[in-house]
Structure 1
Amino acid sequence: MSFTTRPLSGLLGLEISGLDLAGPPDDATFARVKSLFEANSVVVFRDQRITPEQHIAFSRRFGELEIHVQ
């Protein structure tokens, strides 16, 4: 899967466009996304139309989730 990136600011963050997280991304694409996250500390995926379950499944690929109780 191909996608494009754009810096959010000069210091921190990256916007990723053209990637549909409902897919979900294949292993090679996810490895690239994870590498970009590690290098930029923040990544933004705008206009995603995913279910809560898809969001959780994608997030779990980064590691164990921490549940915060309010």
Structure 2
Amino acid sequence: MTRAAYEALLRELPRSVEPVEAVEDREHWYRRNHPLPASPGYTSEQRQQVEDLHARLLDTSARVGTHP
């Protein structure tokens, strides 16, 4: 699994790990033009997949960084 594949997975998942409500603030200049939709959060399978891939990337980074 490459870093690019890991990032592609994250782009496909909901924007938040935990369920959150939509954010829209007409008074705030940025939120007025960029409201955020509600996010259902990750499923337990998605969480596990992200955790496994992240651990694998950390291990690979450590091996590459400490290779003589």
Given the two structures, how large is their TM-score scaled by the length of structure 2? Answer: 0.37
More strand by share: 1
TM-score (norm 1): 0.36
